Amino acid sequence: MFVIRAGSAEGRRTPPPDRQHPTGHPDHTARHHIRPDQALLYRLNGDRNPLHSDPAVATAAGLPGPILHGLCTYGVAARTLLHSVAGGDPGRVRRISARLSAPLFPGDTLTVLVWHRPGGAFFQALDGRGRPVLDRGVLDLR
């Protein structure tokens, strides 16, 4: 479960693990327009969290409006990696990991930056303002 501004299970925020961020220009950049109704469509997978669909609930949580499911954001980034690093072959993907660092809002743009490395890639995903929404991303190939 991800609870905004709640910190760890002990109630305090823990720093993310230290991992080097790639330097230089990314080897691949993909921009994806997120449909304004994407969170409502994604609910068909069974996630009924009102934070993704009800403006009153989102506002009460301190957000300007409903947010996109983190797993949907992650899935858009993973599809970019599948095609830009693994040649479209899911059998080549061993592991994908990333830190969800901020919410993405329906109607926004998701920009996925990919830096190739031996055995896979590093990646980061940004919202339309350039704020990281997925950070410290790693793709390992088989």
Is 52 marked active-site? yes
The 3-class SS string of the chain reads CCCCCCCCCCCCCCCCCCCCCCCCCCCEEEEEECCCCHHHHHHHHCCCCHHHCCHHHHHHCCCCCCCCCHHHHHHHHHHHHHHHCCCCCHHHEEEEEEEECCCCCCCCEEEEEEEEECCEEEEEEECCCCCEEEEEEEEEEC
- Active-site residue, selected from the candidate residues 52, 69, 127, 135: 52
- Active-site residue, selected from the candidate residues 27, 28, 32, 47: 47
Is 108 marked active-site? no
CA distance 59 to 94: 38
Could you list the active site residues?
47, 52
